[in-house]
C-alpha cells in the first residue's frame, strides 16, 4: 500500500514538473554570436565583460540576461531575463505594448497568449492600427504570409551633363527648439556590442562613447567630442535644448529570405540586413515576425518617425535600404541626418532633404548641419579614397567617396584619381599624391588620429586646399577637423547644384 502511494506521488510529481517546464524563446532561430564573429570579438571575453555590467534599470538587466541566455543557451538566464522584464514599470501605452510583446516572445511563465492580448490592448490606444491586426493574426495563429511588401530599390537620378561647374555642400538643415528629433537606440542610449546595456531603450542618458571604449584609451577616445549618433544627439540637445526621442520596437517580417521593416501603414518596404536582424536583443513573435529593440538605421525608424511627428530623423545610412527610407521620410517632410553615409550616393538627384557627413555649427540656440559649398569644374582633378576590401574589417567605409564621385562622373566628367587602401592609417598617400600633382581637392574619410593629422597638415599648407568629407561626422577626429578648418571642409551633399558658367572650363 505504502509502495503504491509512493509510486503515485512520484508519478504526480513527474507530471507536474513536466507541465511546469517553460519553452523559452520558442521562435528564436538566428545566431546570437553572428555580429560578434563578424566584428572580430572574442565570444568568451565578451560574455565575461557583459556579466560584469549587469546593472541599471530592470529593462536593461532583462536584455543583458537575454543576451547571455542566447549566447550560453541558458534556461537560468532566460528565467532571470523574464523576472527583470516582469518587474519593469512602463511609463506609457507604447512602452507597455513593447514590454508585453517582449514577455510574450520569450514565453515568460508560459503566458505568451496572455501578454499578446495585453499588447493588443495597448496598441489599440495608439495610431499603430496595422500592428493591432498583425498581433491578432499571430494570436489566432493565422497565416501572416499575406503581409504587403515593397522590395523596390532606390537608384541615383543625377544628370549634370549640361553644366560646366557644380557646387557641392549647399544643402543645409537647421535645428532649433521647435524641432522634434527621432533617432535610433543603438549607439545612442544603448550599446550592446560595447557592453553598455544598463538602461531601457525609451529614455535615459545619451551615451557618447561606444564599443571603441573597449580597445582605446581615454585620450584617443576624445569623449568630450563624442562618437556616433549619441555624440551628435548630445550636441543637438546642448545647442537647442530639445530632448531626442528614440524609435524602438520595430517590427520586421521575413520575405524570400530577407527581413523588412514597415512604413507607417504596415507595408514592409525597407530591407533589414541580416547582421541587424541578428542583434541578440531582437525578439521573435513567430519564426518570420521579429521585433528590433536596439534599432540601428533609418530603415528601422520610418513608422515611429511618422507616428511621433518627427521633424528631424537621425540614423545610420550604411545600407541601400536606409537611403530608400531616408528618401521616403524626406518625401513626408522630414529632414534626415545620415552621418554614416556609405550608400548616400544613391540619393543623388532625388532632391531629398538629407545631409551625409556635414560640417556643423551652433549659433543662437540653433545647430546648422551643412551649408559649406565647394565648387568643382568639369574635368578638374580630384583625389578620392577607395577601399580594397578583404584584409581589414570595416575598411570599406573609405569607399564612400569613390562611390559618390563615380556616380557624378557619369554625367559630369572629372579627372578622378582613386587611391586604394587596404588598412587604416594609409591616407598619407592621398596627400602625397595631391602635393605631387598640385591637386587642391581631396575626398576622403577622417576616422583615425592619423587621418586627422595628415589632413590637418595638408590643409594648413594652402588655404586653397579643400577636403570633401565622407563618413566623418560621427567621429571625434572628423569633428575636430571641421571645427579647425570650417572654410576648407565640405561634405557629400546628395543635392548637387549645376552651374553654367560663361567662362570656359579648364
Quote the CA–CA distance of 87 and 92 in Å, as a whole number.
Answer: 15
Ramachandran bin of 423, using left for φ above 0, alpha for ψ from -120 to 50, beta for the remaining angles: beta
Share of the chain above pLDDT 70, in %: 95
Q: Does position 264 have pLDDT exceeding 80, yes or no?
A: yes
b/e per residue 157-176 (b: at least 16 CB within 10 A): ebebeebbbbbbbebbbebe
Q: In what order do the strands lie in the sheet with 289-292?
A: 268-272, 258-262, 250-255, 289-292, 283-284
Please provide the average confidence, as pLDDT, over all residues in the chain: 95
Higher pLDDT, 331 or 501: 331
**DSSP characters over 323-370:** HHHHHHHHHTT-EEE-SS-TTGGGGTTS--SEESS--EEEETTEEEEE
CA 109 to each of CA 19, 114, 120, 384: distance values in angstroms, whole numbers, following the listed order:
11, 10, 19, 57
In this predicted model, what pLDDT tens digit does every residue of 436-459 receive, in sequence order?
999 999 999 999 999 999 999 999
Q: What angle do CA 491, 493, 494 make, to 5 degrees?
A: 150
Placement of cell 535610433 in the chain: 184
Tell me how far the alpha carbon of residue 303 is from its chain's centroid: 15
In this predicted model, what pLDDT tens digit does every residue of 176-197 receive, in sequence order?
999 999 999 999 999 999 999 9
Q: Does position 20 have pLDDT exceeding 80, yes or no?
A: no
Give the pLDDT confidence score for residue 146 in this predicted structure: 85
Q: Does position 483 have pLDDT exceeding 50, yes or no?
A: yes
Quote the CA–CA distance of 436 and 433 in Å, as a whole number.
Answer: 5
Phi, psi for residue 261 in degrees, rounded to 5: -105, 160
In this predicted model, what pLDDT tens digit does every residue of 305-325 receive, in sequence order?
999 999 999 999 999 999 999
Per-residue pLDDT band at 19 (split at 50, 70, 90): very low
Q: What is the DSSP letter of 55?
A: -
All domains in the chain, ordered by first residue: 21-139 (no CATH), 374-499 (3.40.50.2300)
Q: What angle do CA 442, 336, 374 make, to 5 degrees?
A: 25
CA 291 to each of CA 187, 249, 295, 340: distance values in angstroms, whole numbers, following the listed order:
18, 6, 9, 23
Q: Does position 17 have pLDDT exceeding 90, yes or no?
A: no
Are 493 and 359 contacting, i.e. CB atoms less than 8 angstroms apart? no
Assigned C-alpha cell, 6: 509512493
Assigned C-alpha cell, 116: 499578446
252 closest CA partner among 313, 223, 295: 295
Quote the CA–CA distance of 371 and 123 in Å, as a whole number.
Answer: 41
In this predicted model, what pLDDT tens digit does every residue of 201-223 receive, in sequence order?
999 999 999 999 998 888 889 99
Quote the CA–CA distance of 261 and 250 in Å, as a whole number.
Answer: 7
Cβ-based neighbours of 446, under 8 Å, separated by 6 or more: 452, 455, 467, 469, 472, 475, 477, 478, 481
In this predicted model, what pLDDT tens digit does every residue of 279-309 receive, in sequence order?
999 999 999 999 999 999 999 999 999 999 9
Mean pLDDT value of segment 413-419: 99
Amino acid at each position: 500500500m505504502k509502495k503504491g502511494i509512493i509510486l503515485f506521488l512520484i508519478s504526480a510529481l513527474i507530471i507536474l514538473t513536466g507541465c511546469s517546464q517553460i519553452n523559452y524563446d520558442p521562435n528564436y532561430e538566428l545566431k546570437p554570436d553572428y555580429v560578434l564573429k563578424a566584428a572580430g570579438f572574442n565570444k568568451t571575453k565578451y560574455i565575461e565583460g557583459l556579466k560584469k555590467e549587469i546593472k541599471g534599470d530592470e529593462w536593461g538587466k532583462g536584455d543583458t540576461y537575454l543576451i547571455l541566455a542566447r549566447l550560453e543557451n541558458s534556461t537560468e538566464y532566460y528565467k532571470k531575463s523574464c523576472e527583470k522584464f516582469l518587474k519593469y514599470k512602463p511609463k506609457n501605452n507604447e512602452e507597455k505594448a513593447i514590454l508585453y510583446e517582449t514577455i510574450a516572445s520569450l514565453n515568460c511563465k508560459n503566458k505568451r497568449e496572455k501578454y499578446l492580448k495585453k499588447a493588443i490592448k495597448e496598441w489599440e490606444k495608439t495610431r499603430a492600427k496595422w500592428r493591432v491586426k498583425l498581433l491578432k493574426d499571430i494570436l489566432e495563429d493565422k497565416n501572416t504570409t499575406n503581409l504587403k511588401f515593397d522590395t523596390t530599390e532606390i537608384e541615383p537620378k543625377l544628370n549634370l551633363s549640361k553644366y560646366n561647374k557644380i557646387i557641392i555642400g549647399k544643402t543645409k538643415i537647421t535645428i532649433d527648439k521647435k524641432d522634434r528629433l527621432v533617432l535610433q537606440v543603438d549607439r545612442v542610449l544603448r550599446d550592446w556590442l560595447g557592453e553598455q546595456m544598463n538602461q531601457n531603450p525609451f529614455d535615459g542618458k545619451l551615451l557618447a562613447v561606444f564599443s571603441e571604449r573597449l580597445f582605446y584609451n581615454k585620450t584617443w577616445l576624445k569623449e568630450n567630442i563624442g562618437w556616433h549618433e549619441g555624440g551628435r544627439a548630445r550636441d543637438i540637445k546642448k545647442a537647442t535644448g530639445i530632448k531626442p526621442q528614440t524609435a524602438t520596437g520595430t517590427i520586421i517580417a521575413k520575405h524570400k529570405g530577407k527581413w523588412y521593416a514597415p512604413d507607417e501603414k504596415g507595408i514592409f518596404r525597407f530591407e533589414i540586413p541580416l547582421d541587424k536582424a541578428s542583434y541578440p536583443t531582437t525578439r521573435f513573435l513567430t519564426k518570420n515576425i521579429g521585433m528590433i529593440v536596439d534599432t540601428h538605421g533609418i530603415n528601422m525608424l520610418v513608422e515611429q518617425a511618422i507616428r511621433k511627428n518627427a521633424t528631424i530623423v537621425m540614423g545610420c545610412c550604411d545600407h541601400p535600404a536606409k537611403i530608400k527610407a531616408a528618401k521616403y521620410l524626406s518625401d513626408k517632410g522630414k529632414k534626415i541626418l545620415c552621418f554614416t553615409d556609405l550608400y548616400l550616393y544613391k540619393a543623388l538627384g532625388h532632391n531629398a532633404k538629407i545631409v551625409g557627413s556635414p560640417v556643423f555649427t551652433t549659433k543662437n540656440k540653433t545647430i546648422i548641419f551643412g551649408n559649406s559649398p565647394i565648387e568643382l569644374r568639369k574635368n578638374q582633378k580630384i583625389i578620392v579614397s577607395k577601399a580594397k576590401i578583404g584584409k581589414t574589417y570595416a575598411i570599406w567605409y573609405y569607399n564612400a567617396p569613390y562611390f559618390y564621385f563615380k556616380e557624378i562622373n557619369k554625367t559630369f566628367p572629372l579627372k578622378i584619381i582613386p587611391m586604394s587602401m587596404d588598412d587604416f592609417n594609409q591616407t598619407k598617400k592621398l596627400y602625397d599624391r595631391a602635393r605631387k600633382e598640385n591637386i587642391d581637392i581631396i575626398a576622403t574619410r577622417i576616422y583615425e588620429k592619423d587621418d586627422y593629422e595628415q589632413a590637418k597638415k595638408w590643409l594648413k599648407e594652402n588655404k586653397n586646399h579643400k577636403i570633401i568629407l565622407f563618413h566623418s561626422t560621427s567621429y571625434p577626429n572628423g569633428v575636430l577637423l571641421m571645427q579647425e578648418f570650417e572654410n576648407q571642409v565640405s561634405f557629400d551633399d546628395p543635392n548637387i547644384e549645376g552651374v553654367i558658367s560663361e567662362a570656359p572650363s579648364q
